[in-house]
Structure 1
Amino acid sequence: MSSGAILDGATKEHLLNIQTEHLEDHRVRFTVEFPRERLQEAEKKAARNIAKQVRIPGFRKGKAPYRVLIQNGLGQAIMEDAIETLSKTIYGEVMEQSDIEPYGPGVFEKYEDGTTPTFIYTVPLQPTTKLGDYRSVRREYDEPVVDEADVDEEIEKIRQSRATRREVEGDIESGHIVMADVHAVYADDPPVVEEDEDGTEAVEEEVVEPEADAEVETDEDFDEDDFEEEDDDVPPAKGETCFRQVGTEIILDPDHEAVFHGFNDELIGAKAGDELEFELVVPGPNDEKYNGDVDWLPDAGRLIHFNVLIDKVEEEVLPELDDEFAAEITAEQGETLTMDELRQRIHENMQTRATNEYKDSYIAGVIDEIVEMSEFAYPPLMVEEQIDNKVAEMEQRLSQMGISFEMYTQMMGGDIEQIRATYREEAEVSVRRMLAMGEIVQAEGLTVKQAQIEKHVDEMIAYFMEVQENSDERSLRNLFSKPESMQRVVNEILNDMLTERLVLIAKGEEITDPEDETAEATEPETEVDAAANDEEQQTTEPTAEADDQESDLTEDQENKQS
């Protein structure tokens, strides 16, 4: 803890006594004592402002004296207004005299009215990173190679997506698509449930065989009005409906049962218009016929009676893999390729994708190793910002599915903090990775040249012009010329440069001296200065703390955060 006082250029009335305490979570706490005269002066100003907003009987608006405002119960409002205004002013004076590097706006914690009035603030500090010997990291680099079999598989997927259907008049075969009404009912009694001496339930293993003359419910007997919802804990009785589907599509995939084992086989050989009746036993986890479908586990061992009315049978017709097929596929991209050219294009795209995915995974592993050998210090605010980003991403994904974040929160128990807590560990990892990467960029002297920015912007504009109809090049260039867009471009280029550098490091390959590669940073100085000014503005005023939430005290800061 250290102490000091603001003396230079200050009158006795503005004298401050500042106690500085460095907290364990990379924040600083300022305890600031100031003359009571300053608070009294702030109260008078607050009283004049409040007097203009209220009507006091016997006085014109804004003319009621201080003592009358107090007598009319406005003392608390005056004090709160005075503290809010004065806390901002004194915070600015403290930051001017302090030598700390704040990460973001400070928080006004509280006012203490002792012998000397006191304000207490906490300020997050800029993070610090002490890298380990990251150039010693080594990892085997085994980039995947896309072969012709991979290309064949990809082309087959495209071919399957272009398949058409035609109706089949003959017998049903494996691979056909069947449209049918399916009604399934339980054809046996449920296992008898008894209680052991300790009070737990014991299921009798013996299955009761159905009676020979037992009636099985058919479609004609089924009446929705007679259906009553049963207790979930009571197993369905014999004759109850298991499920009923009308006009359902059944794909007779030889590698996947439409219901459970044996169902597909019962349909083979039938025709459109046939009505089938058959019974199957639901396989359990110990049955070799069990395919891992957990939905049927509660009914394992039960006998199910099926009534299947076949309406229509179809088969897929796949297009021929020829130049006409290739031309049709590529015409959508504004070009016409032959089959050989299409294969080459697919091979190149698949190789690029596989390489990028592998490189991303490879670099993530390298960075994680570097993080493990490095030391970090950062304020909690950085983690909270990462959590904010992840919650915002989740909210966007939910919105795309037609689910509001409020609805999701209610589904999860209505506790937003519990949702945020699920992202905390991931956010901590993200902060450390980000700090490590930023420090490596500095250590390696990586900078971006103007030509790189121009090339990157040209490529992005060309891409948008290709995929978006009626795109206007001038509008796109204006968009990319904005400071925030330009900074994103620079960050993307730096990220690519860092990726390539880390690959060389981890593979143990020779690296050119950074001094031979560096060039002037390409962001216009005015933009960099503006960004720096924004950061400085964040440190000139604290935020008020209410209900354990930090909020900015200035409109500019609120707009920045939003």
Structure 2
Amino acid sequence: MKSAVETLNPTRVRLSIEVPFEELKDSLDAAYKKINQQVTVKGFRKGKIPNRVIDQRFGRGAVLEEAVNDALPKFYTEAVNEGELNPLGQPEVDITELKDGELLAFTAEVDIRPSIEIPDYSGIEVEVDAVTVSDEDVEKAVEDLRGRFASTNPVERAAEDGDVVTIDLEAKVDGEVLEDGVAEGVSYTIGSGELLEGIDDAVKGLEAGGEATFTSQLKGGSAEGKDAEVTVKVTAVAARELPELDDDFAQMASEFDTLEELRADSRKRLENMKQYDQATQAQERVLDKLIELVEVPIPENLLADEVKTRKHNLEHHQLGQMGIDLAKYLEIQGKTEEEFDQETSEQAVKGIKTQFILDELVNKEKLNVNQEELTEHLMRRAQSSGMSPDQFAQAVVEGGQVPMLVGEVARGKALAVVVEAATVKDTNGELVELDDDEDETAETVEADAAAEGESAEDEAPKDAVEAK
């Protein structure tokens, strides 16, 4: 076999391949055998029809077509390996010459990973938010915890802010009661903002048995987005009683003996959360700076596939679970379809660039992924997906997604290397030292930036490389 590579642009090549006919022998034998098992000829047992009879009855062209389609993936793969190419997606194959007994010649156009030069990234500098936890932050955290231990007691008075009321609702649009616009026995905390706009003002001042009517735009249901006339009837009023902020509360709500110990733990938890947020912010900003430094040509077909995949996942998974379509989503977001398409394309470009750059860094820095790192990553992914580790691992193996997980871990490690070399300061001008969870945070940042990028890059399956 002979092959030559012609570069069409930085992300696409044309392979020209010539195969001596004798190298098709195995595929020709397989073609005759396959046809033998599929047809019957009077006077011959099934599977025992001579090749010459198959040629006479069904045509030599049918045999050649079967043999060529069987052989193309093998010779295409050999040419890719010989040219040391990294193909993306399926090739476009064209048979240019097929001389029975002499020669098979074909071309294959395919997108490839572009050659990327990683410049010195040690000079990257980024600024992140400072980690500050105020006394007010601590008190709010303690108050939130206190609220979870609140009790309610029925009262015979008008409803006030913070009370829990039991209400019946009836919504009308254009004077007609909606089929899904009636609800009874709904528990609502005044001021929580969890129901309809305007309901707080309507129920405040009402005692049990009182009712009021107000107008509000419906947030869901059959008349979502329409203005409705809502009648609310209060059937019960209960006051929320918060436990006293003392050592007894600390012992009831936590493992601590004193309120001061509880406050100190709340402060530490808030500091840890803000440190994690700070690390994530550092990763994101370093990644953005790195992308600015590297010139990355984007394969057009890969970009189109990535945009299509992102739109499909949004429409059929995320929005489907929310019960809305793309048009409604755009209305809620206040975006036109053109703005949405532009934003999706920009996100896809960033995802592809991220993956290409970090993969190149993995090679440059000779980074490897060990079993322990892969297992830890799998556990985190399982937790975020709501599946058990065993279920997630089984799904990954059955779906052939292990290489994808390995790639995520490796790219996370590559980004961590860049962050370690960068200068990170907070808004107070202080140098920031990131903790030992840097790799884990980097995996999350990389996965967010390059989300869904793997599927668009898969190499062509064997049966996709056929003559056209």
Same fold (TM over 0.5): yes
- Does structure 2 retain, via aligned residues, the 8 Å contact 1:137–1:506? no
- Does structure 1 retain, via aligned residues, the 8 Å contact 2:362–2:410? no
Matches within 5 A, 1:181-200: 181-183=168-170
What are the Cα deviations for residues 188-228 of structure 1, in whole angstroms up to 9, with x where unaligned? xxxxxxxxxxxxxxxxxxxxxxxxxxxxxxxxxxxxxxxxx
Matches within 5 A, 1:163-202: 163-183=150-170
Shift of 1:145: 1.0
- Does structure 2 retain, via aligned residues, the 8 Å contact 1:175–1:252? yes
Q: Is 2:456 the counterpart of 1:544? A: no
Q: Is 2:123 the counterpart of 1:139? A: no
1:247 is matched with 185
- Does structure 2 retain, via aligned residues, the 8 Å contact 1:166–1:317? yes
- Which of 427, 440, 443 aligns to 2:348? It is 427
Q: Is 2:69 the counterpart of 1:84? A: yes
CA distance in 1, matches of 2:304, 2:378: 32
1:207 is matched with none
1:221 is matched with none
Report the secondary structure of 2:15's partner residue.
strand
Please give the TM-score of this superposition, normalised by the length of structure 1: 0.56
Matches within 5 A, 1:298-337: 308-330=232-254, 335-336=255-256
Identity of matched residues, %: 22
CA distance in 2, matches of 1:268, 1:402: 31
Please give the TM-score of this superposition, normalised by the length of structure 2: 0.65
CA distance in 2, matches of 1:384, 1:81: 32
Report the secondary structure of 2:185's partner residue.
strand
Shift of 1:154: 1.8
Cα separation, partners in 2 of 1:387 and 1:543, compared to 1, 3 Å: farther
Question: Once structures 1 and 2 are overlaid, which stretch shifts more, 373-382 or 153-162?
Answer: 373-382
Letter in 1 for 2:351: S
Q: Is 2:207 the counterpart of 1:271? A: yes
- Which of 161, 168, 177 aligns to 2:148? It is 161
Q: Is 2:354 the counterpart of 1:367? A: no
Letter in 1 for 2:244: E
- Which of 348, 352, 361 aligns to 2:268? It is 348
Q: Which has the larger radius of gyration?
A: 1
Letter in 2 for 1:107: P
Cα separation, partners in 2 of 1:365 and 1:448, compared to 1, 3 Å: same
Matches within 5 A, 1:385-424: 424=345
1:100 is matched with 84
Letter in 1 for 2:247: D
- Does structure 2 retain, via aligned residues, the 8 Å contact 1:146–1:351? yes
- Which of 29, 32, 41 aligns to 2:14? It is 29
1:59 is matched with 44
Shift of 1:296: 10
Cα separation, partners in 2 of 1:328 and 1:340, compared to 1, 3 Å: same
Aligned residues: 407
Q: Is 2:118 the counterpart of 1:118? A: no
Q: Is 2:32 the counterpart of 1:47? A: yes
Letter in 2 for 1:161: R
2:447 is matched with none
1:193 is matched with none
Cα separation, partners in 2 of 1:296 and 1:337, compared to 1, 3 Å: same
- Does structure 2 retain, via aligned residues, the 8 Å contact 1:448–1:490? yes
2:444 is matched with none
Shift of 1:122: 3.4
Report the secondary structure of 2:116's partner residue.
strand
Cα separation, partners in 2 of 1:353 and 1:75, compared to 1, 3 Å: farther
Give the gaps of 5 or more residues in structure 2.
218-222, 330-339, 432-457
RMSD: 5.4
Matches within 5 A, 1:447-458: none
CA distance in 1, matches of 2:5, 2:275: 52
Give the gaps of 5 or more residues in structure 1.
1-5, 7-15, 187-235, 285-294, 413-418, 511-537, 549-562
- Does structure 2 retain, via aligned residues, the 8 Å contact 1:184–1:307? yes
CA distance in 2, matches of 1:111, 1:299: 64
Shift of 1:429: 0.6
Shift of 1:183: 4.4
Cα separation, partners in 2 of 1:104 and 1:59, compared to 1, 3 Å: same
CA distance in 2, matches of 1:362, 1:446: 24
CA distance in 1, matches of 2:251, 2:64: 78
CA distance in 2, matches of 1:393, 1:503: 37
CA distance in 1, matches of 2:227, 2:17: 71
Letter in 1 for 2:94: K
1:128 is matched with 115
Cα separation, partners in 2 of 1:165 and 1:373, compared to 1, 3 Å: same
Letter in 2 for 1:165: T
Report the secondary structure of 2:464's partner residue.
strand
Cα separation, partners in 2 of 1:339 and 1:391, compared to 1, 3 Å: farther
- Does structure 2 retain, via aligned residues, the 8 Å contact 1:102–1:123? no
Q: Is 2:422 the counterpart of 1:502? A: yes
- Does structure 2 retain, via aligned residues, the 8 Å contact 1:366–1:502? yes
Report the secondary structure of 1:320's partner residue.
coil
- Does structure 2 retain, via aligned residues, the 8 Å contact 1:176–1:314? yes
- Does structure 2 retain, via aligned residues, the 8 Å contact 1:106–1:121? no
CA distance in 2, matches of 1:326, 1:503: 41
Question: Once structures 1 and 2 are overlaid, which stretch shifts more, 144-153 or 21-30?
Answer: 21-30
What are the Cα deviations for residues 277-304 of structure 1, in whole angstroms up to 9, with x where unaligned? x666x599xxxxxxxxxx999659xxx6
Cα separation, partners in 2 of 1:440 and 1:504, compared to 1, 3 Å: farther
Cα separation, partners in 2 of 1:338 and 1:182, compared to 1, 3 Å: same
Cα separation, partners in 2 of 1:490 and 1:437, compared to 1, 3 Å: closer
CA distance in 1, matches of 2:155, 2:282: 51
Report the secondary structure of 1:152's partner residue.
helix
Cα separation, partners in 2 of 1:47 and 1:458, compared to 1, 3 Å: closer
